[in-house]
Amino acid sequence: MEKNTTSFLNTLDEESVLSVVSAWAAESPGSSVLAFVSENDRASIPALQNQCNKVGLQLIGAVFPELLNGKNFYRHGAWLLHLNTPIAYRIVDKLSSLKPGAQGSLGQIADMLSVCSSSENQTTLLVLFDAMVPTIETWMGAVYERFGRKVHYIGANAGSETFQPMPCLFDSENIYQDAVLTVCIPNISGGALAHGYNPPENILLATASQGNRIDSIDWRPAYDVYSELVHKEYGVQITPENFYQYGVHFPFGIIRATGEVLVRIPVALSDNGALFCVGEVPNNTVLTILRADSAESPVEDLTTPFANESCEFALVFYCAGRRMHDRVRATKELGALSENTGLPVIGALSLGEIGSSTRDGYPLFHNATIVCSPWSRP
């Protein structure tokens, strides 16, 4: 890997940051830095902005619950990735007040893509959402309808693992929430995404839902049906008090017409028995309840695209819910990714992932998955 392409900082103190970014500025004046900052160090983002501005580097980035470095997770620090050219990007904020797929917002992304796209080398669109946006899948559907296979896609949700609202996307000047950051990355592959879940036979119907809220399943309060079925099938008694603890172990699966399963982790419960998931659940969706400990490791599928790629590292987003279910398995899967690719693993613990099961496939928004991309510095 080329010297100084990436830097993992345990702390974002002024001296450490300035040492890294000043060297990059000297190597490639006017270039860019993509930063993944741990939630515990988000207070240091203004200092990071100041240091990059001081040396003339463009800055874009996001806050994640934890960071990935090799086979380990880190609760403190930041990844700084040097992109040796100015990078085209757009941040669209106040998404909850916009109609999903608003043409003005898509136009901003289109203008950005027109700047960096090439007829010879296909571009990847890196998409980072605030996890609190309730219509992420609808937005991604609108993006794909507009741009289709003109670009590859990879993305993840940023924010807090507590699912409390907070600013979590930033550039050189500002920090945003209720927003999406889209970044044009030339000459890399899109994200390969997999979860390894095999759906059981039980089939349910979301008979009333809106956005990421399920009000009723099979015409009954969603919580009642969910808790009863988990108890019947798996012998686990779910209560309002332990709901979040068990939601990661028994997520919903959305059965698509193609047979593919989208995973939705329930993370909150309302007083009237509605369930809130990370990601949308359309009305009249066919559902099943998955058991997380039955999921097979998807590492072999994820590393297949690396066989014909010349790259510096593996960019990985690993679902926080998947890690919460089984920390030992999470560490093993990260280690296997590094071993199978023969590359450093760089990335973040995410709150939802965007990618596809094939290189040129439709970009789906998932929970409980791993998304991985071969990465070379633009």
Residue 199 forms part of a structural domain: no
Average confidence (pLDDT) over 237-252 = 84
Strand partners, 154: 126
Tell me what pLDDT residue 240 has. Answer: 83
Determine contact, residues 88/62, Cβ cutoff 8 Å.
no
Q: For the packed helices 136-147 and 103-116, what is the interaxial angle rounded to 10 degrees? A: 50
Determine contact, residues 133/360, Cβ cutoff 8 Å.
no
Number of neighbours of residue 350 by Cβ within 10 angstroms? 34
Q: Are residues 288 and 301 in the same domain?
A: no
Q: Are residues 246 and 114 in the same domain?
A: no
Burial 36-60 (b: 16+ CB within 10 A, else e): bbbbebbebbeebbebbeebebbbb
Residue 85 forms part of a structural domain: yes
> 331, 378, 368, 105: which is closest to 250 by C-alpha?
368
Q: Are residues 108 and 154 in the same domain?
A: yes
Tokens at residue 79, please? 């990844």
Residue 47 forms part of a structural domain: yes
Burial 247-265 (b: 16+ CB within 10 A, else e): bbbbbbbbbeeeeebbbbb
Say yes or no to pLDDT of 339 above 80.
yes
Tell me what pLDDT residue 179 has. Answer: 93
Tell me what pLDDT residue 152 has. Answer: 85
- Residue 1 banded pLDDT, cuts 50, 70, 90: very low
Average confidence (pLDDT) over 130-146 = 86
Range of the domain at 211: 204-292
Q: Are residues 159 and 22 in the same domain?
A: yes
Strand partners, 253: 263, 288
Q: What is the pLDDT of residues 25-41, one digit of tens each?
A: 999 999 999 999 999 99
Tell me what pLDDT residue 3 has. Answer: 54
Tell me what pLDDT residue 82 has. Answer: 93
Tokens at residue 374, please? 């071969």
Tokens at residue 202, please? 């039980």
**Residue 128 CB-density burial (10 A; 0-12 exposed, 13-18 middle, 19+ buried):** buried
Q: Are residues 41 and 187 in the same domain?
A: yes
More confident residue, 370 or 101: 370
Give the end of a domain, one of 273, 292, 311. Answer: 292
Say yes or no to pLDDT of 366 above 80.
yes
Q: Are residues 211 and 252 in the same domain?
A: yes
Question: Domain count of the chain?
Answer: 2
Tell me what pLDDT residue 114 has. Answer: 67
Q: Are residues 262 and 302 in the same domain?
A: no
Tell me what pLDDT residue 2 has. Answer: 46
Q: Are residues 129 and 144 in the same domain?
A: yes
Strand partners, 79: 8, 36
- Residue 128 to residue 172: CA distance in whole angstroms: 16
Say yes or no to pLDDT of 260 above 80.
no
How far the first Cα of the chain sits from its last, in Å, is 13
Q: Are residues 83 and 166 in the same domain?
A: yes
Q: What is the pLDDT of residues 167-185, one digit of tens each?
A: 999 999 999 999 999 998 8
Q: Are residues 76 and 157 in the same domain?
A: yes
Residue 143 forms part of a structural domain: yes
Q: Are residues 287 and 311 in the same domain?
A: no
Give the end of a domain, one of 246, 277, 292. Answer: 292
Residue 1 forms part of a structural domain: no
Using DSSP bridges, classify how beta strands 151-158 and 123-130 pair: parallel, antiparallel or unpaired: parallel
Q: Of 69-83, 112-126, 292-306, 312-326, where does mean pLDDT reach its minimum?
A: 112-126
Say yes or no to pLDDT of 219 above 60.
yes
Residue 160 forms part of a structural domain: yes
Give the Å distances, CA to CA, from 124 to 101, 156, 184, 185: 19, 14, 6, 5
User: What integer best gives the mean pLDDT of the chain?
Assistant: 85
- Residue 134 to residue 365: CA distance in whole angstroms: 12
Q: Of 19-23, 47-51, 291-295, 367-371, where does mean pLDDT reach its minimum?
A: 291-295
What is the reported pTM?
Answer: 0.88
Give the end of a domain, one of 292, 325, 357. Answer: 292
Q: Are residues 286 and 301 in the same domain?
A: no
